[in-house]
A and B are shown apart, each in its own frame.
Chain A
Amino acid sequence: MKRILMLPALLLCLGAPRCEERDSADAARARTAEETLVNMKGQVEGLNESYLETKSTVEKLAKLKVGGYVQAQWQYADSMNQASVNGGNFPATSQERLMIRRARLKTTWQGTASRYVLEIDALPTGVVIKDVNAQITEPWLKAFSLTAGVMDRPFGFEVGYSSSAIELPERTRGSQILMPGEKDLGAEIEFAGTEAMGFLEHLNLKAGAFTGLGSGLAENDNEKDYIGRLGFTLPFYDINLAVDGGVSGYLGKVTNSTGKVAEVGSVGDTLTWVNQAGRKALDTYDRNLMGVDAQVYYDIPVIGGISLRGEYWWGGWVSANGNNGLYTLGDTNGVYLRKVASWYVMAVQNVGVRNQLAVRYDVFDPNTDAEGGDIGRFKGSKLNTNDAALSTLSLGWNHFWDEAVRFTLNYDFNMNEKTNAAAAGSNAANSAVFKKWSDDFDNNQVTIRMQVKF
């Protein structure tokens, strides 16, 4: 029995140093593991701290958005020196051209209740500012906002439609002449109904006071142009139909540098521009326009969505000299007070996901008091081809290569109101012009464009 008892005791004695060694090794390993754990914890905390710092930076950067697009195009016209509102007039020695139509870079910083926008158009001919404005939104309803700076004039549908999204290369002639460059400097209040507002959700309003000089000129008189549009959008989701529209108003005043004023009137049998007597320099003249617009969207099964759009503008306009564009203070030729009208109808049909067909017919009449037959009828009349109505039938095809690239093929059939050639023989200065305009002359144009947008 003793032997039996001694054996474990011996084993214990022999094993004791080994146990101690093992305990010591285990303790060392535990210490190492603990140290490793502490180190790892430290590293994780460091990473977490670094992550929080990075997150803070990323969140700041996420408020800053940069976007832009380039439109490069080739155009072919029926003749050299052709007048065009699709990319500008052709040179005297060329009927085809390669050009960069737009090269925009837009930077937007969007805060919780404020926004900053700067957009430039960087063309080979120079850099111009398109948008530069600041916006604040009230924090309660988040439905009202105030924007100040250079922005789209809130008039009609087409003016505010993005140049990168328009389905044809350019806006209509009327829009380009009456709202050149789309932008103006001013302050605007916007209301956009929210879901919580019931029926008001479907309404939107933009109205503001603008200089009336476009984006490139500093204000030079005390007059403001008041421009606004009240719009609605009625979606019928069950049948995938939407009916949108709006009513626009433009109430402006123009200061004349001189006392020279011309209005259309009759001298004997002759309809002409008649100089108005008794007018003084720095008198102001009304520049008023009204507009209505409507858009219908419908999803045609199998083919794709279609939209039908139309817009009609009319009113009294103040132009410079015989030019039917905007008058600006400083022009010594005086003002021409004219009644104008502009309208278009348009259809856009998506064909599958990548293709889109667009058709538009637009008319701009820069002088609704004068018919085509009045222009060139009498030798003494000052009416000229700037008073003739012009229309364009545009056919466009868009191919969306991917989410960034779009190709556009467009053909413009340009038509002119036929003027009277009766005075052509007796008016040497306008002889050739009246003869040419007494029929629909060749001035069609084709455009192939590539757009890359990011």
Chain B
Amino acid sequence: MKKSILAGAAFGIASMASMAFSAQTITVKGSDTMVILAQRWAEKYMATHPDVSVQVTGGGSGTGISALINGTTDICDASRKMKAAEREKLKQRFNSLGVEVPSARDGLAVYLNEASPVSELSLDQVKDIYTGKISNWKAVGGPDAKIVLYGRENNSGTYVYFRDNVLKGSDFAPSMQSLPGTAAVVNAVSKDKLGIGFGGAAYAKGLKFAKIKKDAGSPAYEPTAETVKNGTYPITRYLYMYLKSRPTGALKDYIDWTLSPEGQSVVTEVGYFPVK
């Protein structure tokens, strides 16, 4: 039995040693929608906190949540809420429900090419377009031409949010081209006169936003600071940071800073909308 006690002691010491060497590095992984915001936050925070390193990578909300469950990231950025099954996995590994921090608001924009004659769409029309029920621009006031759908890959929080809230749980049309990141969707729609895409309002370069109506009889709104804040723009969402457990030390200081007036001013600079 001596052997086993010695082995146990060695094991315990090795475990403790690995705990003692944790450095002041904060890792952030997840939503591509939030990656610019997260990078700006990191840059500004590190400028005033040289003792802390904040490392940001994208990959999509689903990838970030997996990393959080695996213990390979401190913060998961997500442009959707965690699913119940994901919460269960987090609970199993860390005995914690995790901590959800709403850190910004976003108007989820529907992108159109600048040359498109279409300027507004109802939510039902957007749903019908993306589920494949409407496949010709003529049906929504455009030219007699096939609609080219661009969207995100299924590990993206934007994809899940759009499917759950705009398509009401229906599946995307198989013809949709899934692209790896909002920037890629913006790029594709800006070059394709017959294209339509969706993504964060912060990425609006070289294209235009469709004005969105709640229903056929409602007024149409573009995602602006005002319409997102007052809720008249119908496709808005929170952008979240998720943590394994209640933050302490440098991690808590960083989270608190992102929610401070200084941190929230970065939200506005990037093109999203503050939560406070």
Q: Chain A residues in contact with chain B, CB under 8 A?
A: 52, 55, 62, 76, 78, 112, 142, 162, 165, 195, 201, 235, 237, 240-242, 297-299, 301-302, 304-307, 348-355, 397, 399-400, 402-403, 407, 409, 411, 446, 448
Of all A-B residue pairs in the complex, the 7 with the closest CB atoms, nearest first, are A305-B95, A305-B96, A403-B70, A446-B4, A299-B96, A307-B95, A399-B15
**Chain A interface main SS type:** strand
Known: A351-B19, A448-B7. A299 touches B97 (CB 8 A): yes
* Nearest CB of B to A194, in Å: 8
- Listed A/B pairs (13) with beta-carbon separation below 8 Å: A78-B1, A112-B171, A162-B92, A237-B100, A297-B96, A298-B96, A304-B94, A305-B94, A352-B22, A354-B19, A355-B15, A399-B18, A446-B4
Q: Is B143 an interface residue (CB 8 A)?
A: no
Kindly list chain A residues whose C-beta atoms are within 8 Å of the C-beta of B84: 195, 201
Q: Report the bound CA distance from A307 to B244 in whole Å.
A: 15
Known: A242-B97, A299-B97, A305-B94. A446 touches B19 (CB 8 A): no
Closest A residue to B9 by beta carbon equals A409
Q: State which of B8, B12, B18, B97 has its C-beta within 8 Å of the C-beta of A237.
A: B97
* Contacts A306-B95, A307-B91, A397-B12 known; 18 new A-B pairs at CB < 8 A: A55-B177, A55-B178, A195-B84, A201-B84, A237-B97, A240-B96, A297-B97, A299-B246, A301-B245, A304-B94, A304-B95, A305-B245, A353-B244, A354-B19, A354-B71, A355-B19, A397-B8, A411-B4
Q: Report the bound CA distance from A397 to B14 in whole Å.
A: 12
Kindly list chain A residues whose C-beta atoms are within 8 Å of the C-beta of B246: 240, 299, 301
Q: Is B257 an interface residue (CB 8 A)?
A: no
Q: Is B99 an interface residue (CB 8 A)?
A: yes
Known: A242-B91, A348-B95, A353-B71. A409 touches B12 (CB 8 A): yes
Interface residues in B246-260 (C-beta closer than 8 Å to A): 246, 248
Number of residues from B at the complex interface, CB < 8 A: 35
Mask, B62-73, CB within 8 Å of A = 1, is: 000000001110
Closest A residue to B168 by beta carbon equals A196
Query: Is the pair B96, A354 in contact by a Cβ cutoff of 8 Å?
Result: no
Query: Is the pair A399, B245 in contact by a Cβ cutoff of 8 Å?
Result: no
* Nearest CB of A to B251, in Å: 11
Query: Is the pair A354, B1 in contact by a Cβ cutoff of 8 Å?
Result: no
Q: Is B138 an interface residue (CB 8 A)?
A: no
Kindly list chain A residues whose C-beta atoms are within 8 Å of the C-beta of B19: 351-352, 354-355
Query: Is the pair B1, A446 in contact by a Cβ cutoff of 8 Å?
Result: yes
Kindly list chain B residues whose C-beta atoms are within 8 Å of the C-beta of A411: 4, 8
Closest B residue to A307 by beta carbon equals B95
Q: Chain B residues in contact with chain A, CB under 8 A?
A: 1, 3-4, 7-8, 11-12, 14-15, 18-19, 22, 70-72, 84, 87, 91-97, 99-100, 154, 169, 171, 177-178, 244-246, 248
Query: Is the pair B15, A302 in contact by a Cβ cutoff of 8 Å?
Result: no
Kindly list chain B residues whose C-beta atoms are within 8 Å of the C-beta of A62: 154
Q: Report the bound CA distance from A142 to B84 in whole Å.
A: 14
Kindly list chain A residues whose C-beta atoms are within 8 Å of the C-beta of B14: 399
Kindly list chain A residues whose C-beta atoms are within 8 Å of the C-beta of B94: 304-305, 350, 353
Kindly list chain A residues whose C-beta atoms are within 8 Å of the C-beta of B91: 242, 297, 305, 307
Q: Report the bound CA distance from A305 to B92 in whole Å.
A: 10
Closest A residue to B3 by beta carbon equals A76
Known: A302-B248, A446-B1. A397 touches B97 (CB 8 A): no
Kindly list chain A residues whose C-beta atoms are within 8 Å of the C-beta of B4: 76, 411, 446, 448
Kindly list chain B residues whose C-beta atoms are within 8 Å of the C-beta of A350: 94-96, 245
Query: Is the pair A400, B8 in contact by a Cβ cutoff of 8 Å?
Result: no
Kindly list chain B residues whose C-beta atoms are within 8 Å of the C-beta of A304: 94-96, 245
Q: Report the bound CA distance from A352 to B14 in whole Å.
A: 14
Kindly list chain A residues whose C-beta atoms are within 8 Å of the C-beta of B11: 397, 399, 407, 409, 448
Known: A301-B248, A355-B15, A355-B19. A349 touches B95 (CB 8 A): yes
Closest B residue to A194 by beta carbon equals B84
Kindly list chain B residues whose C-beta atoms are within 8 Å of the C-beta of A409: 7-8, 11-12
Closest B residue to A95 by beta carbon equals B1
Query: Is the pair A240, B71 in contact by a Cβ cutoff of 8 Å?
Result: no
Closest A residue to B154 by beta carbon equals A62
Q: Report the bound CA distance from A202 to B138 in whole Å.
A: 45
Q: Report the bound CA distance from A55 to B174 in whole Å.
A: 11
Q: Report the bound CA distance from A407 to B8 in whole Å.
A: 11
Closest B residue to A141 by beta carbon equals B169
Closest B residue to A348 by beta carbon equals B95
Q: Report the bound CA distance from A55 to B153 in whole Å.
A: 11
Closest A residue to B12 by beta carbon equals A397
* Nearest CB of B to A127, in Å: 27
Query: Is the pair B92, A165 in contact by a Cβ cutoff of 8 Å?
Result: yes
Kindly list chain B residues whose C-beta atoms are within 8 Å of the C-beta of A354: 15, 18-19, 71
In this complex, the member of A142, A299, A302, A351 whose beta carbon has the largest number of chain B beta carbons within 10 angstroms is: A299
Kindly list chain A residues whose C-beta atoms are within 8 Å of the C-beta of B7: 409, 446, 448
